[in-house]
Amino acid sequence: HEAAQAPRLDELPTVEEHQAQTQGKVSHGIILVDNADLDVPIRFAKCCSPVPGDDIVGYITRGRGVTVHKTDCSNAINGEQERKIKVQWASQDVGSFCAAIKIICYDRIAILGEIATYIGDMNVSIRATSTAVDDKTKLATIRLVLEVKSREQMDKLIRQLQRKPDIVDVFRVTG
């Protein structure tokens, strides 16, 4: 679904709008690349879905520019070291990003609706969902792709969900 993807870089602020922050760096709106000679397309890795506030690293791809990963992403960790490049967030308030969480909860009628309402009340959009129930343990596993503005917003949402009595665990997932 097209709306669930990260914002397009050509829709984001220009280099001039971040000029004060970019001495010796190339700005791609929301990402600063610490290499003034490198001016290539930037995209966000779908494997780890980085959001502003995450620690990130750039990875120079073959023919596709730089892909931004979370520093703890296995693809970034296991990639060729010489292709890694330092990148950083240029701004914390530049739009919304998709990230996934997994919720383990006790299965009961209307639990998914209650969770969805609670997330909506926190001003977070749900972009995708999948659910599975283990009939033996009576636990439901709910995977949600959420549209968030920052890591702080995601962390706050996770902390709030963890406080709910029917929820066993909530954590961020990749891929």
Identify the DSSP state of 7: P
Q: Is 57 helix (H, G, I), strand (E, B) or coil?
A: strand
What is the pLDDT at residue 62?
Answer: 82
| pLDDT above 90: residue 6 | no
Tell me the residue type at 3: A
Query: Residue 143's beta-bridge partner residues?
Result: 102, 130
What is the pLDDT at residue 129?
Answer: 93
Planar angle of CA 39, 46, 145, nearest 5 degrees: 135
> What is the mean predicted confidence (pLDDT) over 127-145?
94
Nearest by Cα to 129 from 111, 146, 149, 104: 146
The residue ranking higher by pLDDT, 92 or 167, is 167
Kindly report the pTM of this predicted structure.
0.63
The residue ranking higher by pLDDT, 4 or 160, is 160
What is the pLDDT at residue 149?
Answer: 86
Instruction: Summarize pLDDT for 43-96 with one digit per residue, the tens.
Output: 888 888 888 888 889 888 888 888 889 888 888 888 888 888 888 887 655 677
What is the pLDDT at residue 165?
Answer: 93
Sheet of 125-134, strands arranged across = 125-134, 139-148, 97-106, 167-173
d(CA 88, CA 72): 15
Sheet of 87-89, strands arranged across = 26-27, 31-33, 87-89
Segment among 18-27, 40-49, 56-65, 141-150 with least mean pLDDT:
18-27
Tell me the residue type at 98: C
Select the highest-mean-pLDDT range: 24-38, 82-96, 158-172: 158-172
Average per-residue pLDDT in the chain? 79
CB-based contacts of 98: which residues, under 8 Å, 6+ apart?
A: 4, 5, 6, 49, 127, 145, 146, 147, 148
